[in-house]
């Protein structure tokens, strides 16, 4: 099973297994990754799963939908060029080993 590594606000690295087709927000909440809240359950209405994607993986992500693009303008941590919502990152073979930094704060 592919893995994703979450870098938490304290600098800790947590690698978790993520099934193909599962999103990173669900993988994070299922594995107790601190800082990923996922209040809206993945409906792109809260931005509490904001992450900064490692540059090595940004080209492998699908294009951002317009509603994700809009909600990222309202994140608590401030948007960066590599900002994405973890609920919109769906694991596939090209993303195996993806590294994301958890945005802090989320709320």
- The predicted-structure confidence for 29-50, as pLDDT tens digits, reads as follows 999 999 999 999 999 989 999 9
Residue 62 within any structural domain of the chain? yes
Domain that includes residue 13, residue range: 3-102
Residue 80 within any structural domain of the chain? yes
Residue 65 within any structural domain of the chain? yes
For the segment 69-84, the average pLDDT, to the nearest whole number, is 96
To the nearest whole percent, how much of the chain has pLDDT over 90? 95
Indicate which CATH number applies to the domain containing 68.
3.10.20.30
Residue 107 within any structural domain of the chain? no
Rounded Cα gap, residues 97 and 102, in angstroms? 16
Q: How many folded domains does the chain comprise?
A: 1
Residue 97 within any structural domain of the chain? yes
What DSSP assignment string belongs to 19-64? -TT-BHHHHHHHTT-TT---TTSSSSSS-TTEEEE-HHHHTTSPPP
The half-sphere exposure of 90 on its side-chain side, counting CA atoms within 13 A, is: 8
Q: Which of 38-42, 50-54, 59-63, 91-95 has the lowest mean pLDDT?
A: 38-42
For the segment 71-93, the average pLDDT, to the nearest whole number, is 97
Residue 79 within any structural domain of the chain? yes
DSSP category for residue 71: H
């Amino acid at each position: 099973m592919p893995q994703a590594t979450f870098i938490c606000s304290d600098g800790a690295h947590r690698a978790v297994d993520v099934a193909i087709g599962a999103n990173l927000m669900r993988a994070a909440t299922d594995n107790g990754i601190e800082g990923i809240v996922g209040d809206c359950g993945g409906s792109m209405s809260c931005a509490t799963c904001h992450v900064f994607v490692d540059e090595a993986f940004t080209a492998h992500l699908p294009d951002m939908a317009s509603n994700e693009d809009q909600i990222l303008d309202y994140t608590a941590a401030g948007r960066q060029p590599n900002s994405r919502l973890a609920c919109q990152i769906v694991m596939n073979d090209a993303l195996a080993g993806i590294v994301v930094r958890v945005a802090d704060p989320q709320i």
